[in-house]
Chain A
Amino acid sequence: MLTKQQAKLFFLVGTFVTFAVFIGLTIYSLRQVQTNLPEDVARGKHLWEKNNCMGCHTILGEGAYYAPELTNVLKRRDVNFVKGVLMSEKPWDLHGRKMVAYGFNEQQANDLIAFFKWVGTLNLNGFEKVDRTVSPLAKDRMKDQSN
């Protein structure tokens, strides 16, 4: 029968080993992540954060599920459309859901677009295709529509 000491040992050894593996994998995988980003991309990211865009949208699939996923926004929408939304002085309203009227200036809008462009270039292990539709069903449907 298991004793309390053995149970404690199981906890301590299991935790230590898995944490060590976790740290090792973290170092291994982060070596491949780009860190020296162009200045406009970094500025765009900080604008994204400062205005809590993730409080409505998702990016890389993370956020609040109230407004569209923006990882591939520039593949779905024209850059001027996106710029128009960002610079709008009135709440943008599509399908009845309002966006905060941020009224970004030209420079800020360009920075955010640079950020979206960079995010759009990431290799997301398949997810980059999902919000552009990945399933065979969807592909067939799109083919039908274009014919």
Chain B
Amino acid sequence: MKYKSQKVAYWFWALSMLLLTIQLTYGFIMGFARVGLDGLHQWIPFNTAHTVHLNTLVVWLIAGFMGAAYYIIPEEAETELWQPKLAYLQLIALTIVGVAALTGYHFNYWEGRKFLEIPRELDWLVAIDVILFLVILLMTILKGKKKSTTAWVLFGGLTGAALLYLPGMISFDSQVLDSFFRWWVVHLWVEGVWELIMGGILAFLLIKLTGVDREVIEKWLYVVIGLTFLSGILGTGHHYYYIGVNKIWLIIGGIFSALEPLAFLAMTLWALSMYSKGEKKHPNKLAIFWTLNAAIVAFLGAGVLGLAHTLPQTNLYTHGTLVTAMHGHLAFWGAYASIVFAIMTYALPNLTGRKVYQSVRGKVAFWLSNIGILTMVSAFAAAGVAQVYLERIMGYEFGAVQNEIKVHFWVLIIGATILSTGIILYIIDFIKYGLPTDEALEPA
């Protein structure tokens, strides 16, 4: 590492890995409930498991992004973080809010709005925490020697994510309005500003790993995020087809969500072409694996599988079925989980001074987790298509159909086991790297 204060990133990522473990555990609780093994129902009913699963996902990714920002911004701005002690305070506050929210979910303390279940009182604490985080980053950039595009894009994405949290804090009596503005947060996060964060991290990794000129990488970064917003903002319309608002969204949502894969395709081509142009001399091959994985699987999961059910004619049948879960799992894995793994894999040797790049465990972790998630996605696809056919086309009752497709949930559990094995191996590697140390500081 180049600046001592970058060490704080490690602790955010440690929190990420802890939350990911909880996410997987609660995923298993749901998977087993789906095949009828719901012995924990009394203590952890499905809605609790589902909420913990989604919220740990969101928070581990955000903690991952925060770690990434604390690692990247000092290096990009060429200065130590502004007030690193405040960054540790921010981490502690985030952890406390997370623990409070997760505990509350077991005692009916939540807002039943998918992805935004954190209760209103805790929302304010989240807001304060995020403002502190952004102030630390902004002050660092402003006092730095360099103002790079990568740093500004990353900061812009994180600021956008914070601002877009606000519409989710408005309370509505109407389910239609509730749903409408819930998507301002969820959609404009994952198919909007989070892609800026991803683009910023990806640009940083490509600059470091390929050796291609920064100006070239950052030029294409603008093109990628330009395409993201051009398609993604109006693409929000695909959530508005069938929730009780005007028909105009069928046209707008249909056209712009058909364009959304282009942004992801551009990202894939950008990463692959920079890699092929580069020197391929960087020893951290695993970081390159994860970086390219993010760029490629994001296109498959978010782009291709999104397009598979996003046109209104298809979505009329698939809306509210497991087909959505199919797309969601690969999209989150490709775009966001993989980019967090990529930056961690790149940074851990630098933070700890343990320059181990060819870990067999690391490679097995990479392949197992990818094979596992693809197995899960296939299971969701089979279950989803069968559900659409039986329930929406043949007109059978929901419960009867769920029993009919039970076998796919067993495949889901097998996939989840493979994925979890990969993740456990990754976490073992994470721990084996040891703690970050000032001794790892590179001479200026």
Least distance between B357 CB and chain A CB atoms (Å) = 32
Least distance between B328 CB and chain A CB atoms (Å) = 11
Residues of A within 8 A of B234 (CB): 18, 21-22, 25
Q: How far is the CA of A5 from the CA of B60 in the complex (A)?
A: 35
Task: Say whether A55 contacts B220, CB under 8 Å.
Answer: no
- Of all chain A residues, which has the CB nearest B47? A55
Task: Say whether B229 contacts A55, CB under 8 Å.
Answer: no
- Mask for A6-47, Cβ within 8 A of B = 1, else 0? 011011001100110110011011101111010001100110
Task: Say whether B230 contacts A15, CB under 8 Å.
Answer: yes
Residues of A within 8 A of B41 (CB): 91, 98
Least distance between B136 CB and chain A CB atoms (Å) = 26
Least distance between A35 CB and chain B CB atoms (Å) = 6
Q: Which of B21-55 contact A (CB under 8 A)?
A: 30, 33-34, 36, 38, 41, 45-48, 50-51
Q: Does A79 contact B (CB under 8 A)?
A: no
Residues of A within 8 A of B252 (CB): 25
Partner of A68, one of B174, B245, B399: B399
Task: Count chain B residues whose beta carbon lies closer than 8 angstroms to a beta carbon of A.
Answer: 75
Task: Say whether B241 contacts A125, CB under 8 Å.
Answer: yes
Residues of B within 8 A of A35 (CB): 173-174, 177
What number of residue pairs across chains A and B have CB atoms under 8 A from each other?
218
Q: Does B432 contact A (CB under 8 A)?
A: no
Q: How far is the CA of A100 from the CA of B46 in the complex (A)?
A: 9
Q: Which of B291-324 contact A (CB under 8 A)?
A: 316-317, 319-322, 324
Q: How far is the CA of A130 from the CA of B36 in the complex (A)?
A: 27
- Of all chain A residues, which has the CB nearest B51? A55
Task: Say whether B218 contacts A56, CB under 8 Å.
Answer: no
Of the listed residues B237, B249, B395, the one surrounded by the most CB atoms of chain A closer than 10 A to its CB is B395
Task: Say whether B248 contacts A11, CB under 8 Å.
Answer: no
Task: Say whether A32 contacts B45, CB under 8 Å.
Answer: no
Q: How far is the CA of A130 from the CA of B312 in the complex (A)?
A: 13
Q: How far is the CA of A15 from the CA of B403 in the complex (A)?
A: 46
- How many chain A residues sit at the interface, stated as a range, is 35 or more
Task: Say whether A2 contacts B223, CB under 8 Å.
Answer: yes
Least distance between B147 CB and chain A CB atoms (Å) = 13
- Mask for A98-119, Cβ within 8 A of B = 1, else 0? 1010000000000000010001
Least distance between A28 CB and chain B CB atoms (Å) = 7
Residues of B within 8 A of A91 (CB): 41
Given contacts A56-B47, A62-B320, contact A37 B112 (CB under 8 A): no
List 5 tightest A-B contacts by C-beta distance, closest first.
Answer: A55-B47, A61-B320, A95-B399, A52-B112, A127-B242
Q: List 15 A-B contacts (CB under 8 A).
A: A4-B219, A8-B222, A10-B223, A11-B229, A18-B233, A19-B233, A30-B177, A49-B112, A53-B47, A56-B45, A65-B320, A66-B46, A95-B399, A131-B391, A135-B317
Seen from chain B, the residues whose Cβ lies within 8 Å of a Cβ on chain A are 30, 33-34, 36, 38, 41, 45-48, 50-51, 108, 110-114, 117, 149, 172-180, 215, 218-220, 222-223, 225-227, 229-230, 233-234, 236-237, 240-250, 252, 256, 316-317, 319-322, 324-325, 391-395, 398-400, 402-403
Seen from chain A, the residues whose Cβ lies within 8 Å of a Cβ on chain B are 2-4, 7-8, 10-11, 14-15, 18-19, 21-22, 25-26, 28-30, 32-35, 37, 41-42, 45-46, 48-56, 58-69, 91, 94-98, 100, 115, 119, 122-127, 130-131, 133-135, 137-138, 141-142
